[in-house]
Structure 1
């Protein structure tokens, strides 16, 4: 029996002795938390009669799939961040999927050019700005973050965090190595404190008066607003959608891929197609305050109220290729030092 569990030694042993997958089910390895997945899996089962078994992993998806090899019961992987999607693909653990439905539902910039993964929802990497201390229009581009006028006014999490590495990779894509190094040095010089904490901690620091702006993902605003302790932090800031000069706002994704070993390939494809449908996209987007990407879909009213933006049109796989170089630059300037 395929169980939902965290990756512990006991769970790994239980999984290794699991019975063969049945024809009326699909098995999922997920980096997304169970509460975010359940509304989708329930809706899929109700529509198709196919049972969805989810194994929630906190880390180690690539290593686990490699260890299981061709005997892996996993049909599909669900994850966030382009680096994790690219990592599964680069390890040779996925298979390309040909589907007119997937191609129609997922814009080209949000799917692998070789059809190994498909995006589901997006989140923008934005600026949280103090309502009291930052005027409208004071920051409009990512390049602005290196302007000396922000000296001592920026809070940010570690430069080596996956989200910030992706943002740096986007800067590298648009501006090249020399300009990106100078940008990182400029942002570092403007920091109010050493990089630390998560995205929510940066908003808390703005609320506390430690800095005036921070960089974070859009969905954290929704998460903070639903938390009585953190709502005051959220109310102290507004969301600004900066752009790369001449391009657009940097976004990252949640996505899905079919495993190379997939024992229930037909059901896996049905599940992937369902996840990209307008119905599932809106469920998924609402669960985590993200932006659905299927044509004709819209975010929930709260998310829509944060404002409109134009996403950077670069294919995210291009950014994934630049992540090692971006990380090297972050370490070269000792961003976290």
Structure 2
């Protein structure tokens, strides 16, 4: 049985009684990324997964629906978005030994409101032709004047770059982060715009030499005939924070406070950290499995090994408001 899309705010669904053989998910992730996982879960359990793709306003939607919300689970990306749903009071803790034992402490909420499902690294895409091996090694290095006119990036107020800035602030403090932001801004080849993949296109077009991006976009570009040439023009570099490792972020899941199908939702959460589901994540989404022992895809392995930053994601989330304020104060995107 295939995953079905549903509109959570329709009166009919909101008023319908809970069914034991279904789970309702609000997902910030694109449907094509989660569809294979839900199809595998339905095949294994017979439980249907109904998905509403919610690009914006997920917290507001859940708050408006309150106890009558049909949503059982929230699936999203970025530590900030996970923390937002928790801080809004629309989730509940899940005391499940299978989840707690499988997911490392660094990738789950201390109070078990959210659980990481996959990780991704915030890396540098570097031109194969114009950037030598070893020319960029750290995030701090991006502010070096040697990169003047050579960096492209999406908006720094995007969630991924705010998280990176928050991690930088956690490592180095506010004043050093301000200086870093000003230095990176001075090195931009053009005004921030587009998404991570369009930055790689700019490198391919010769508009800049390096850009920031998430690892999995390389897999997506390689799979797209139009974008494969962009991907072939760059290599992945895993920069580090000086004295530590490469900045990581996550995709994750949380159970809503309403959760009309709690038992079935728990089964889906457990399935998402199983070997089978983690392997689907690795092969389909080009992400790093959060479960130890599950192999990365052959493509992801080809990108090389790296040391993840030791900074806890909860600590990154705490710094996010100050990081965003600082990004706006230096008018990074201006």
Q: Distance in 2 between matches of 1:49 and 1:227?
A: 33
- Quote the residue 2:205 is aligned against: 208
Match among 18, 21, 25 for residue 18 of structure 2:
21
Q: Distance in 1 between matches of 2:226 and 2:86?
A: 40
- Quote the residue 1:109 is aligned against: 106
Q: Does 1:169 align with 2:166?
A: yes
The 5 Å alignment of 1:123-142 reads 123-142=120-139
Q: Distance in 2 between matches of 1:35 and 1:190?
A: 36
Contact 2:13–2:70 (CA under 8 A) maintained in structure 1: no
Q: 1:206 offset after TM fit, Å? A: 0.8
Q: 1:49 offset after TM fit, Å? A: 2.2
Contact 1:111–1:315 (CA under 8 A) maintained in structure 2: no
The 5 Å alignment of 1:73-152 reads 73-152=70-149
Gaps of 5+ in 2: none
Contact 2:116–2:252 (CA under 8 A) maintained in structure 1: yes
Does the residue aligned with 2:90 lie in a helix, a strand or coil? coil
Contact 1:27–1:52 (CA under 8 A) maintained in structure 2: yes
Contact 2:15–2:68 (CA under 8 A) maintained in structure 1: no
Gaps of 5+ in 1: none
- Quote the residue 1:296 is aligned against: 293
Does the residue aligned with 1:327 lie in a helix, a strand or coil? helix
Match among 265, 268, 272 for residue 265 of structure 2:
268
Query: CA offsets, 1:171-226, max 9 Å, x none?
Result: 00100001000000110111111111111111111111111111011111111111
Taking structure 2 as the reference length, the TM-score comes to 0.96
Contact 1:20–1:73 (CA under 8 A) maintained in structure 2: no
Q: Distance in 2 between matches of 1:17 and 1:240?
A: 47
Contact 2:178–2:326 (CA under 8 A) maintained in structure 1: yes
Q: Distance in 2 between matches of 1:209 and 1:34?
A: 33
Q: Distance in 1 between matches of 2:268 and 2:240?
A: 34
Q: Does 1:182 align with 2:176?
A: no
- Quote the residue 1:327 is aligned against: 324
- Quote the residue 1:218 is aligned against: 215
Does the residue aligned with 2:50 lie in a helix, a strand or coil? strand
Query: CA offsets, 1:112-147, max 9 Å, x none?
Result: 111100000111100000001111001000000001
Q: 1:17 offset after TM fit, Å? A: 4.5
Q: 1:166 offset after TM fit, Å? A: 0.4
Does the residue aligned with 1:12 lie in a helix, a strand or coil? coil
Query: CA offsets, 1:79-100, max 9 Å, x none?
Result: 1111111110000011111111
Q: Distance in 2 between matches of 1:133 and 1:59?
A: 38
Match among 151, 156, 170 for residue 153 of structure 2:
156
Does the residue aligned with 2:9 lie in a helix, a strand or coil? helix
Q: 1:14 offset after TM fit, Å? A: 4.8
Q: Distance in 2 between matches of 1:161 and 1:334?
A: 14
Does the residue aligned with 1:109 lie in a helix, a strand or coil? helix
Taking structure 1 as the reference length, the TM-score comes to 0.95
Contact 1:278–1:295 (CA under 8 A) maintained in structure 2: no
The range that moved more, 40-49 or 111-120, is 40-49
Does the residue aligned with 1:181 lie in a helix, a strand or coil? helix
Q: 1:16 offset after TM fit, Å? A: 5.2
1:227–1:33 CA distance, 2 compared to 1 (3 A): same
RMSD of aligned residue pairs (Cα, Å): 1.4
Q: Does 1:47 align with 2:48?
A: no
Q: Distance in 2 between matches of 1:42 and 1:288?
A: 15
Q: Distance in 1 between matches of 2:56 and 2:12?
A: 16
Q: 1:12 offset after TM fit, Å? A: 2.8
